[in-house]
Amino acid sequence: MFPVQTAISQVFSDRILVRGYSLTAMAGTYSFGDVVYLLMTGELPLGQEGEMIEAILVACVEHSINAPSTHTARAVANTGAPLQTAVAAGVSAIGEHHGGAGEACARLLQETIQAHPTATPDELAARVTADFRQRGQRLPGFGHRFHDPDPRAQQLLALADAKGISSVHVALARAMVTALHEATGRSLPLNVDGALAALLSDMGIGWRYGKALFIIGRTAGLAAHACEEQMTGKPFQFAARVEAEYIGPVERPLPPRPSETV
Amino acid sequence: MFPVQTAISQVFSDRILVRGYSLTAMAGTYSFGDVVYLLMTGELPLGQEGEMIEAILVACVEHSINAPSTHTARAVANTGAPLQTAVAAGVSAIGEHHGGAGEACARLLQETIQAHPTATPDELAARVTADFRQRGQRLPGFGHRFHDPDPRAQQLLALADAKGISSVHVALARAMVTALHEATGRSLPLNVDGALAALLSDMGIGWRYGKALFIIGRTAGLAAHACEEQMTGKPFQFAARVEAEYIGPVERPLPPRPSETV
Amino acid sequence: MFPVQTAISQVFSDRILVRGYSLTAMAGTYSFGDVVYLLMTGELPLGQEGEMIEAILVACVEHSINAPSTHTARAVANTGAPLQTAVAAGVSAIGEHHGGAGEACARLLQETIQAHPTATPDELAARVTADFRQRGQRLPGFGHRFHDPDPRAQQLLALADAKGISSVHVALARAMVTALHEATGRSLPLNVDGALAALLSDMGIGWRYGKALFIIGRTAGLAAHACEEQMTGKPFQFAARVEAEYIGPVERPLPPRPSETV
Amino acid sequence: MFPVQTAISQVFSDRILVRGYSLTAMAGTYSFGDVVYLLMTGELPLGQEGEMIEAILVACVEHSINAPSTHTARAVANTGAPLQTAVAAGVSAIGEHHGGAGEACARLLQETIQAHPTATPDELAARVTADFRQRGQRLPGFGHRFHDPDPRAQQLLALADAKGISSVHVALARAMVTALHEATGRSLPLNVDGALAALLSDMGIGWRYGKALFIIGRTAGLAAHACEEQMTGKPFQFAARVEAEYIGPVERPLPPRPSETV
């Protein structure tokens, strides 16, 4: 059968190469952020992209128990599952409604600019915002149910401005905040997913890695919570606390089995 | 119902605190490795532990498709699952036989030294090695089916020596390599899990985080592979390549149903 | 906080009610297929739907190691993970390309008939087939990479005909096979997902349960394979057999770190 | 590379064989319980074991939202994940503290009787109970935090008695309830896991399938809940309801970075 193709790494008995570079030579000289950038783009950063990615990973690392992924990881750890099982369940809860908007937002930013390379951010923002409103959809990456503004987005954009990383995708994202405000009268600032999306786009990383970057950072928080739950969690402390309201049929006698009615 | 207790983080509308520190203030000033150390120990590093953790994460990040977790993540991505589902499946494959030995090895090192604080590394190594051999068990963290020596372990220990991090747990781990060689005549060098275990122990991190550290690093590799599979994978390229040898009963006619035999 | 609403079940200290019926009274008098029907529709079957569901579950139960979900479950069991972790990974691999087409096909059948209640199956089949061909998409539930015809689909449809269950959705599915043949010149018979989709639709079960029915049946096969792997599997027998072709950059020296270039 | 060995099934283009029997010939003539028994033992039942397994699957099918696995499946479905991802996360939460005791209990019953084939149930029960109490461990399969007695266990044992299935393992399990009562003064009746364990043991099924049987049945309930959550769940209704009590360090200023202190 044909072999499986990959451009990521090669393993030899005496060395491991990632995108052609020695993994062990990078350990201790390049940061984890540098290597994540290498994994995602194929090249080591020429500028401060590695530090920017480290900052993104830190910003994504932790949002306590009320984040659905963390709640899920702890709930599974609470059942006596091993650590990898609890973290895996937590990762699987990073979906469209939580942590996953970075992928959709990055795709929107990248495809919009690719399709209209000469338009201004304000023109594009007006068009994209109108499109989404016409379809009745929410723009991914804007607004947060708890933070207004999202301090993580503010900090990441300030860092990107200082590092000279902010470019056309950040400009479009900022123009969309203004366009959204004008169109709706509401404040829908960039959230951490939206900032992550704009920044990875301006660093030349494909939109498909938008969710990946959040997952990598958050995994550290999930692991810490799962370990804490293993050490200190009270039995059934998650599932048992849900107050359920039953809205189905009231108690009723069993009907005779169909075969018995013949 | 009683609240769920956690000592990890607090979320306010204008700020997020991790172990009491502002998450956004750390983003851009502290490394991801520093923050992982904070999550696991409760304190930011006073020395070079953050850089050591970054090196560990880099060493764990990637080992190509023949690692069971990477193979699993790609196999699930190949079915059309979303990224978080593929990465989650990959994380769930980091078990006792692959990537998970760091937890068992760290526990062994920490409990051995805690139980015999005044014994020398050589005395402890001889005792531990004899115990495992008597029970017919493999020592977790030693030997690798592919690498001899494991270049990742060598590099991590060299970095730890240079940073002044290597201490009693590293000494015990090294003594165990010698004791294993004397007892078995075979070369069973520290592998990446064993090096990780010795180093986190000498940095004051509890053994329970041994598997966690590997998971955090490897998640970046899993995500890169899952994205590559989504973009370039051929349909059914994993499951379909397994050659199965059927060793069960040959084809046979169905017996009459039990109820029909009455 | 508002309670979580559910219409599925209630648990009391002395009894468990599912859709109002005593669970323990059903155990031993109603089949598992009857209870699955109850869970999905809210009512126990009046006819032979429970037997039909049992037949569907049996048809979905097992397709050996080359099915992606089974391959994944065994690969994870091979790492030393507990049974639930291996089965969970297998379930997560039941996606759009494998086992999940039942949901999409059922939705297509149900929405097509709902939108055009008076059209004939042939009219609808011609329209649906033309729509998909125009968009360059494959119709979910038709054709199988290995079976032509799919013996499971044939058997399930024959049973449904005999039980008087086949109705408008089965008629539409059959008309689509003819329309596909006329449009493409190729034989694209109903596969097991497509048969399942037509049958659950004719039993009054919503399309959303299309994937669920496959998952429930296949879980038994996944569990049997995971147990077999735990008992007899050779170490690394899945991941290690993948032949990878590296197509990335050749080995290259590390560049100086960006900060060192300043 | 050597092929992967399996004794479970063979797939041909025109037929699928499970343990040598035609899958499609079984669909419609044998029950799902019969086929589960075939998967687990290698043979179709000669007596009423298939009906017993159907009753066990029904008894395990559903225990509402406060069961950790159901809670987890709904929490993940709530994030917008696809059905297979939600069900997988639920399955991964079937651990030692919830649903998984059947495996440990079956192993205990089978190994105890195998080691002492001529002892009476009362002798064995006294010995096993004393052993566990001496080690300070809970006996798996006895007692339930909510049901006393567990109506599912009662119903399953009554069915097994009526079908002539109850034999030495059921006798031992019942003797253990008496021994536990005498030793502790407390009522610790068989729970559903314990009944399942005793019954599968008396049907000649290996202990390793104890957790599997629970998983197969409960998957139907998990799928129904995940579908209900997809259709009616309110955003963030699980994670957001957890009241967390933060017990870590109070807010504190960031220390200078280690490198800056040099």
pLDDT (tens digit per residue) in A79-120? 999 999 999 999 999 987 888 899 999 999 999 999 999 999
- What's the Cα-to-Cα distance from D252 to each of B32, B43, B44, B252, D236, rounded to whole Å? 19, 11, 12, 74, 30
Q: Which H/E stretch holds residue C90? A: helix C83-92
D74: pLDDT strictly greater than 60: yes
How is C99-158 classified by DSSP, letter by letter?
T-HHHHHHHHHHHHHHH-TTS-HHHHHHHHHHHHHHTTPPPTTB--SS-SS-HHHHHHHH
Residue A158's CB: how many other CB atoms inside 10 A?
A: 14
Using the predicted structure, report yes or no on whether residue B14 has a pLDDT greater than 50. yes
How far is it, in rounded angstroms, from Cα A152 to Cα A163? Answer: 17
Compute the half-sphere exposure of residue A201: CA atoms within 13 Å on the CB side of its CA. 28
CA–CA gap between residue B203 and residue A31 (Å, rounded): 19
- Considering only CB atoms, which chain D residues are within 8 Å of C215? 83-84, 87, 219, 223
Contact call for D252 and B21, based on CB within 8 A? yes
Contacts of B1 in chain D (CB under 8 A): 243
Are B40 and A241 in contact (CB < 8 Å)? no
Q: What percent of chain C has pLDDT over 90?
A: 86
Q: How confident is the model at residue C95, as a pLDDT?
A: 85
Does any CB of chain A come closer than 8 Å to the CB of residue C58?
A: no
Alpha carbon C66 to chain centroid distance?
16
The pLDDT confidence band at residue A70, using thresholds 50, 70 and 90, is: very high
For residue D260, pLDDT over 80 is answered with: no
In chain C, the residue whose alpha carbon lies closest to the alpha carbon of B92 is C85
Q: Is C17 on the interface with A (CB under 8 A)?
A: yes
Kindly report, residue by residue over A109-159, the tens digit of the pLDDT. Answer: 999 999 999 999 999 999 999 999 999 998 999 988 888 899 999 999 999
Contact B242 D20 (CB under 8 A): no
Tell me the mean pLDDT in the region B139-145.
90
Mean pLDDT, rounded, for D42-54: 97
Q: pLDDT tens digits for B166-198? A: 999 999 999 999 999 999 899 999 999 999 999
CB atoms within 10 A of CB B170: 23
- Asked if residue D203 lies in contact with residue D115, where contact means CB atoms within 8 angstroms, the answer is no
Pick from D19, D22, D38, D62 the residue to mutate for testing the C interface (most C CBs within 10 Å).
Answer: D62
Question: Would you place residue D262 in the very low, low, confident or very high pLDDT band (cuts 50, 70, 90)?
Answer: very low
Q: Give the residue on C whose Cα is nearest the Cα of B232.
A: C247
Token pair for A172? 């479009």
Option in D8, D159, D241 nearest C1 (CB)? D241
B5–D245 C-beta distance less than 8 A: yes
- The verdict on a CB contact (< 8 Å) between D89 and A81 is no
β-bridge pairing C244-246 and A4-6: parallel
pLDDT tier, A261 (very low <50, low <70, confident <90, very high otherwise): very low
C81 shares contact with chain B (CB less than 8 Å): yes
Predicted local confidence at residue D261, as pLDDT: 45
Residue A260: per-residue pLDDT: 52
Give the distance from residue A142's alpha carbon to the nearest chain B alpha carbon, in angstroms. Answer: 16
Closest Cα to residue A8, out of B228, B110, D247? B228
C261 pLDDT band, cuts 50/70/90, is very low
Q: Residue A258: which of C9, C46, C82 has the nearest Cβ? A: C46
Between positions 115 and 144 of D, the ones with CB within 8 A of C are none
pLDDT higher than 90, residue A245: yes
- CB–CB of D222/D73 below 8 Å? yes
What's the mean pLDDT when you consider all of chain D? 94
Q: How confident is the model at residue B95 (pLDDT cuts 50, 70, 90)?
A: confident
Report the Cα A76 to chain-centroid distance in Å: 21
Among B74, B155, B238, the residue to mutate for chain C (most C Cβ within 10 A): B238
Q: What is the DSSP letter of D41?
A: H
The residue-averaged pLDDT of A233-244 equals: 89
Q: Averaged over D92-98, what is the pLDDT? A: 88
pLDDT digits 0-9 by tens, B226-256: 999 999 999 889 988 889 999 999 999 999 8
Structure token digits, residue B6: 């956690």
Residues of C in contact with B97 (CB under 8 A): 78-80, 235-236
What are the strands, taking DSSP E only, across chain D? 4-6, 9-11, 16-18, 21-22, 244-246
- Between residues 192 and 231 of chain C, which touch chain D (CB distance below 8 Å)? 206, 208-209, 211-212, 215-217, 219-221, 223-228, 230-231
CA distances from B175 to B115, B122, B192 (A): 17, 6, 16
Neighbours of chain C (3+ CB pairs under 8 A): A, B, D
- Taking an 8 Å cut-off on Cβ atoms, the answer to whether A239 and D66 are in contact is yes
Give counts: helices (H), strands (E), chain D: 12, 5
The two structure tokens encoding residue D32: 């799902």
Residue A259's pLDDT is 59
Q: Of D3, D82, D243, which is closest to B82 when you measure between CB atoms?
A: D82
C-alpha triplet B243, B244, B246: angle, nearest 5°:
150
List b or e across B143-162, with b for residues whose CB sees 16 or more CB atoms inside 10 angstroms.
Answer: bbeebebbbbbbbbbebbee
The model's confidence at residue D257, banded by pLDDT at 50, 70 and 90, is: confident
Mark A11-47 as b/e (b = at least 16 C-beta within 10 Å).
beeeebbbbbbbbbbbbbebbbbbbbbbbbbeebbee
Q: Is the pLDDT of residue B165 over 70?
A: yes
Q: Does the distance separating the beta carbons of D81 and B255 come in below 8 Å?
A: no
Does the bond joining C149 to the residue before it have cis omega, within 30 degrees of 0?
yes
Mean pLDDT confidence for D176-195: 94
* Tens digit of each residue's pLDDT (9 = 90 or more) over B23-40: 999 999 999 999 999 999
- D56 contact residues in C (CB cutoff 8 A): 27
Model confidence at C262, pLDDT cuts 50, 70, 90, reads: very low
Handedness of CA B27, B31, B32, B36 (dihedral sign): negative
Q: Of all helices (H) and strands (E), which one includes residue A22?
A: strand A21-22
Partners of B1 on chain A (C-beta within 8 Å) are 240-241
What value, to the nearest 5°, has the Cα angle with vertex C247 and ends B95 and B65? Answer: 10
Q: What is the mean pLDDT of chain C?
A: 94
The model's pLDDT over C34-87, given as tens digits with 9 standing for 90+, comes to: 999 999 999 999 999 999 999 999 999 999 999 999 999 999 999 999 999 999
* Stretch C172-182: mean pLDDT: 96
Query: Which pLDDT score, from 0 to 100, does residue B94 have?
Result: 95
Looking at residues D140-163, what average pLDDT do you find? 94
**Arithmetic mean of pLDDT over chain B:** 94
Residues of chain B with C-beta less than 8 angstroms from the C-beta of A234: 2
For residue C244, give every residue at least 6 positions away whose Cβ sits within 8 Å of its Cβ, in sequence order, or none.
Answer: A3, A4, A5, A6, B64, B65, B66
CA–CA gap between residue B123 and residue C62 (Å, rounded): 54
Whether the per-residue pLDDT at C32 is higher than 90: the answer is yes
Question: Is C63 in the B-facing interface, judged by CB distances under 8 Å?
Answer: no
pLDDT at D258: 60
Residue C23 and residue D58: Cβ atoms within 8 Å?
yes
The nearest CA of chain D is from the CA of A143 a distance in Å of 15
pLDDT band at A258 (very low <50, low <70, confident <90, very high): low
Say if A80 is an interface residue toward chain C (CB within 8 Å): no
Distance CA A190, CA A157 (A): 10
Cα R_g (chain B), whole angstroms: 23
A185 in contact with C at a CB cutoff of 8 Å? Answer: no
pLDDT at D259: 59
Q: Is residue D219 within 8 Å of residue C209, measured between CB atoms?
A: no
How many C-beta atoms lie closer than 10 Å to residue C75's C-beta? Answer: 33
Report whether B179 contacts B20 (CB < 8 A).
no
Put simply, the answer to whether D159 touches C28 (Cβ < 8 Å) is yes
Contacts of D257 in chain B (CB under 8 A): 29-30, 34
**d(C-alpha A7, C-alpha C147), whole Å:** 34
Rounded Cα distance between A49 and A34, Å, is 7
Return the SS3 of A16. Answer: strand
Average pLDDT over residues A47-66: 97
* Residue C258 binned pLDDT confidence (cut-offs 50, 70, 90): low
pLDDT in tens, A180-233: 999 989 999 999 999 999 999 999 999 999 999 999 999 999 999 999 999 999
For residue C70, the model assigns a pLDDT of 97
- The pLDDT assigned to A100 comes to 85
d(CA B134, CA D198): 35
The answer to whether the Cβ–Cβ distance between B79 and C70 falls below 8 Å is: no
Confidence of residue A247 (pLDDT cuts 50, 70, 90): very high
Beta carbons of D90 and C94 less than 8 angstroms apart: no
Is the separation of the CB atoms in D106 and D200 below 8 Å? yes
- Comparing C-alpha atoms, which of D95, D108, D107, D139 is closest to residue D207? D107
CB–CB of D243 and B3 under 8 A? yes
User: Residue B160: which H helix or E strand, with range?
Assistant: helix B151-163
Residue D3 has pLDDT above 60, yes or no: yes
Neighbours of A162 (CB within 10 A): 11
User: In the prediction, which pLDDT does A262 show?
Assistant: 41
Residue C195 pLDDT grade (very low, low, confident, very high; cuts 50, 70, 90): very high
Find the CB nearest D258 among B25, B48, B246: B48
- Give percent of chain C above pLDDT 70: 98
Give the pLDDT band (50/70/90) at residue B145: confident
A contacts of C30 (beta carbons < 8 Å): 254, 257
pLDDT of residue C259: 59
Each residue's pLDDT tens digit, D161-177 = 999 999 999 999 999 99
Q: What is the mean pLDDT of residues B57-65?
A: 97
Nearest-neighbour CA in chain C from B244: distance (Å):
7
Distance CA A81, CA D208 (A): 17
Query: D14 or A257: which carries more pLDDT confidence?
Result: D14
Structure confidence at residue D89 as a pLDDT band (50, 70, 90): very high
